[in-house]
Amino acid sequence: MTFEVKNGSFGYGKRTVLNDISFSISSGEVLAVLGSNGVGKTTLLKCMMGLQKWQKGESLLNGKNISNLSHKELWQTIAYVPQSKASAFSFSALDMVVMGRSSRLGMLSRPTEEDEAAARAAMEDIGILHLQDKMCNNMSGGELQMVLIARALTANPQMLILDEPESNLDFKNQLVILEVLEHLARDRNIASIINTHYPAHALKVADKALLLNKDGTNCYGPVDAVVNEKNMCASFGVNVFIHTFEVQGKSYNAVVPLSIAM
């Protein structure tokens, strides 16, 4: 599976938000999208999925413009995981995850035992089967985010698109989400595109990075080449120190904010 954006541009009125965006991602890769608030990270996700129409450029799935694909073909290949917010609906976790099978059901069809089995398998795969009977409106943010990821996985997608999956979570749940993304890439060969506010998270899980800047420019390439001290200062307006260290034979990256750039 290969997903590409070529020369994508989008704006509101006379204001250009995204200008000449190009990138590609293949099965098993993780792409991190970074940038300060208001640079268009969520707009980028919507445009690349066709939820908003590019004013220039195109999104391609295996070489085909997604506007030429059927709704079913597109959403059986890619799945969207929105930011987790408190659920106002009293669905159990299992019922919520079963909803992810909608792209594989016919019009007015009811979920079958096979669909429920697929939902349980997705929950077991990421370690949340014990939550199947818990009501979504009684869940923590981390639990609900994992349920939303499981819901996306029930369609057996080849790519996940996740909008800030680790935001508003504590240290442990952030790590859980990142480890799930690593597992899906390494063991399931699923590609992922994630919006994140955390450069250190990009360095931990991503193969590639796309950095959106306030002046409309962008930087795309291998994550180590994009997430560096110079680019972080230019994009976020913060002087940072990036330190690589080892613990028990494994390398880690710390991105430490030092001061506001003048």
Would you state the pLDDT for residue 41? 94
Would you state the pLDDT for residue 102? 77
Tens digits of residue pLDDT in 170-188: 898 899 999 999 999 999 9
Tens digits of residue pLDDT in 70-117: 988 899 899 999 887 655 568 899 999 998 887 766 555 677 888 899
The tokens for 207 are 């193969």
pLDDT tens-digit profile, the chain (262 residues): 999 999 999 998 888 899 999 999 999 999 999 999 989 999 999 999 999 999 999 999 999 999 999 988 899 899 999 887 655 568 899 999 998 887 766 555 677 888 899 999 999 989 999 999 999 989 888 899 999 999 999 989 999 999 999 888 889 889 999 999 999 999 999 999 999 999 999 999 999 999 999 888 999 999 999 999 999 999 999 999 999 999 999 999 999 999 998 7
Would you state the pLDDT for residue 132? 95
Distance CA 87, CA 127 (A): 21
Of the candidates 206, 210, 202, 233, the residue with the CA atom closest to the CA atom of residue 41: 210
pTM, to two decimals? 0.91
Instruction: Please report the sign of the dihedral spanned by the C-alpha atoms of residue 238, residue 209, residue 147, residue 85.
Output: positive
The tokens for 7 are 């020369």
Q: 């499981």: which residue's tokens?
A: 150
Would you state the pLDDT for residue 121? 93
Query: Measured between alpha carbons, how far apart are the two ends of the chain, in Å?
Result: 44
Would you state the pLDDT for residue 86? 57
* DSSP bridge pairs for 243: 254
237, 244 contact by CB (below 8 A): no
Would you state the pLDDT for residue 202? 97
Would you state the pLDDT for residue 101? 85
